Amino acid sequence: MATKVAIFGDLFMRASVLEQTVREHLAPICGKLEFVTQESDWPLTTQAHDAKLREFVGDPEEVALMTTDANIIINHLPPITRLVIERSPRLQVIGCCRTEPVNVDVEAATAAGIPVVYAPGRNAPAVAEFTVGLIIAECRDIGRGHHALAQGNWRGDLYLYDRAPRELSGQTVGLIGFGHIGQLMPALLKPLGLRVLAYDPYVAAEVFADKGAEQITDMNTLLAQSDIVSLHARVTPETTGFIGEEQFRRMKPGAYFINTARGPMVDYDALYRTLTSGHLRGAGLETFAVEPTPSDLPLLRLENVTLTPHIAGCTVESVTRAAEMVSIDIANFYAGKPLVNCSNPGVLDR
């Protein structure tokens, strides 16, 4: 009997890539495989949120129609709700090609005895190198120069001594959050001559030194000592809104704030006030509290910001890495081996 796989991709996480990768890893173990695939038109559409799941695209009823006889679900963005799980009586394992399975009802999967594997750090290299690019673009006026030239304006004032930026070498970058992405940053920043500080109360002290960062145990100290503050924490109830008016005021006058993590951690109204007051020289923002951004968002009208539309994780390698990580763990499941990245590992002990 064939093992049946339902794959839900989109215009970024292509279903063809997922199918090919699953075949490579699973066919030697399971033999015959049958695939049913679907692609949404994300990222050309927006994501939805509800009380249980977030950042999903699609209708659970439509998803369930494809999974009624599936043994495996591999997904990127569709809502894998309790309804989908209950209507998939043959389901054995769920693979979510994301850094967190936020669009999967893990509680319902656990109750059904189904492991949920995922791909933490899938886009960490992409986001880390993008962050360096955003730091350089904001601190060296690249975005402002481009915008002016695109409008036919040669901005000689960008060469004035009184507004000239400092070179990066010799400055200090403070990293808030030292997980998958943060730990890659020192190796990229230090060759530019930057001193790297890092704050993360959930990371062991030896990791900081091993990755080339100076550990700071108090976030206020990091804010006060950094010329550039770069956010790399995860969104949790504890971190939601934890960068606000007080934190911006603790930063050095003339410092920069960079966010390639998530918007809900930052009070953007407070950031706007701090930027317009002149206390901060600039900001580089890749994510926002509401996405897509409202057209009347005040930050969009400021000159001293460089803005991008949540694209830091978008690389070919992010897709292939996620497909590989999830496929390996699904193969591990069928081979009776330990799972590397499982959000509900206790389900296997039942």
Residue 262 annotated as catalytic:
yes
| CA proximity to 283, closest of 251, 329, 237, 241 | 251
Which residues partner with 34 through β-bridges? 4
Element (H, E) at 36: strand 33-39
220: phi > 0 → left, psi -120 to 50 → alpha, else beta; which? Answer: alpha
Are 263 and 241 in contact by the 8 Å Cβ rule? The answer is no
Which residue out of 25, 180, 262, 321 is catalytically annotated?
262
Spatial distance between the Cα atoms of 81 and 105, rounded to a whole number of angstroms: 5
Token code pair at residue 176: 């808030």
Helix, strand, coil fractions of the chain, as percent rounded to 5:
40, 20, 40
For residue 135, report the phi and psi dihedrals to the nearest 5 degrees. -60, -50
Query: Which of 39, 100, 214, 291 is flagged as catalytic?
Result: 291
User: Which DSSP helix (H) or strand (E) runs through 117?
Assistant: strand 116-117
CB 259 within 8 A of CB 286: yes
DSSP at 289: S
Per annotation, catalytic residue among 54, 249, 279, 310: 310
**How many Å apart are CA 34 and CA 107, to the nearest integer?**
27
Nearest residue to 283 (alpha-carbon basis) of 272, 297, 293? 272
Q: Kindly list the catalytic residues.
A: 262, 291, 310
